[in-house]
């Protein structure tokens, strides 16, 4: 088990966190980190979103530890310090969206090897929500799950959607699928946008927290997705939309100011999730776990109450 860097200076996580390099079954090197808790109520598998990295969830791990839960999270393949799929580190690329399930499997094995306390629970944000939904359907052994603005659909205009499907499909056929999708930029979103214009959070302090991480450790950053990532995500989200919801006890958080993922897909999914609860966050933007202190407290109190109810 090889130790990997964990930038505690910007993560602001609990003491005694550690990160390791692990290999997936297809020999991709990813980074996994964990923080323990004295209470041993269980361990949260935290699935980040696109462009994200371990350090972004240091404060989330602190919130979970205060409520008695350990946390394990990761850099998905193609982002953070994990192996990148293409030479251009700015482009978020994936060969197949289902490859992320290999990262999930490696992370789960690692958590077991570390002896992290059971039972396991899931918190999944944005792209991690798409990965998490498939993992649940395929039998991820968690007692309960909480989603934050899950990417069960991407928000785009009706006029743009056929173009996105068409150009991303054509790019695969002609070998141009590693190119960045039109309209995307190489520079990370957090370093090129101002607080007043951002679509992630309305909290200035949390916005600075995320921006400082990228400016202090630029290697963590990622720009826009490739055309193949776009096509793979569209295909997998469509396939997921046709599958029945699992019976895992679940709560999903969705802000009324959401502009990145498709709220209609979330409402539809939760309406057919047995016993599932949809928590609407008035004024909340995309990053529920990075929002104002009252929203963050509501999120972690609600999440751990659900976990406590399924020990």
Task: Convert the pLDDT of each residue in 58-112 to its tens digit.
Answer: 999 999 999 999 999 999 999 999 999 999 999 999 999 999 999 999 999 999 9
pTM of this structure: 0.97
Instruction: Report the pLDDT value the prediction gives residue 1, as an integer from 0 to 100.
Output: 85
What is the 3 state secondary structure string of 153-168? CECCCCCHHHHHHHHH
Domain boundaries of the chain, sorted by first residue: 2-308
The CATH T-level fold of domain 2-308 is Rossmann fold (3.40.50)
**7-13 average pLDDT score:** 97
- State how far the Cα of 279 lies from the Cα of 196, in Å rounded to an integer: 25
70, 13 Cβ separation under 8 angstroms = no
Mean pLDDT of 209-217: 98
Quick: pLDDT tens for 151-185.
999 999 988 999 899 999 999 999 999 999 999 99
> 250: which 2 tokens?
């679940």
Q: How far is CA 199 from the centre of its chain?
A: 16
pLDDT at 133 over 90: yes
């Amino acid at each position: 088990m090889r130790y990997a860097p964990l930038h505690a200076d910007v993560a602001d996580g609990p003491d005694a966190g550690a990160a390791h390099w692990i290999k997936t079954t297809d020999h991709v090197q990813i980074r996994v980190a964990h923080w323990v808790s004295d209470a041993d109520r269980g361990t949260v598998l935290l699935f980040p979103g696109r462009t994200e990295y371990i350090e972004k969830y240091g404060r989330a791990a602190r919130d979970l530890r205060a409520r008695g839960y350990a946390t394990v999270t990761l850099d998905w393949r193609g982002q953070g310090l994990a192996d990148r799929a293409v030479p251009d580190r700015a482009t978020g690329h994936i060969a197949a969206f289902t490859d992320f399930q290999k990262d999930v499997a490696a992370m789960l094995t690692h958590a077991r090897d570390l002896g992290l306390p059971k039972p396991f629970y899931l918190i999944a944000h944005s792209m991690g929500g798409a990965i998490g939904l498939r993992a649940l359907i395929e039998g991820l052994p968690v007692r309960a799950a909480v989603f934050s603005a899950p990417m069960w659909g991407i928000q785009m205009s009706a006029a743009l959607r056929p173009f996105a499907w068409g150009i991303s499909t054509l790019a695969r056929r002609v070998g141009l699928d590693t190119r960045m999708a039109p309209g995307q930029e190489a520079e990370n979103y957090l370093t090129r946008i101002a607080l007043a214009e951002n679509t992630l959070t309305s909290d200035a302090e949390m916005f600075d927290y995320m921006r400082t991480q990228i400016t202090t450790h630029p290697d963590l950053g990622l720009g826009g997705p490739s055309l193949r990532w776009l096509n793979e995500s569209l295909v997998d989200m469509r396939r997921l939309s046709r599958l029945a919801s699992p019976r895992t006890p679940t709560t999903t958080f969705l802000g009324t100011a959401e502009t990145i993922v498709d709220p209609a897909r979330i409402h539809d999914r939760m309406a057919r999730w047995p016993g599932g609860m949809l928590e609407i966050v008035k004024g909340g933007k995309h990053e529920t776990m990075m929002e104002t202190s009252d929203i963050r407290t509501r999120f972690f109190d609600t999440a751990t109450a659900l976990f406590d109810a399924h020990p």
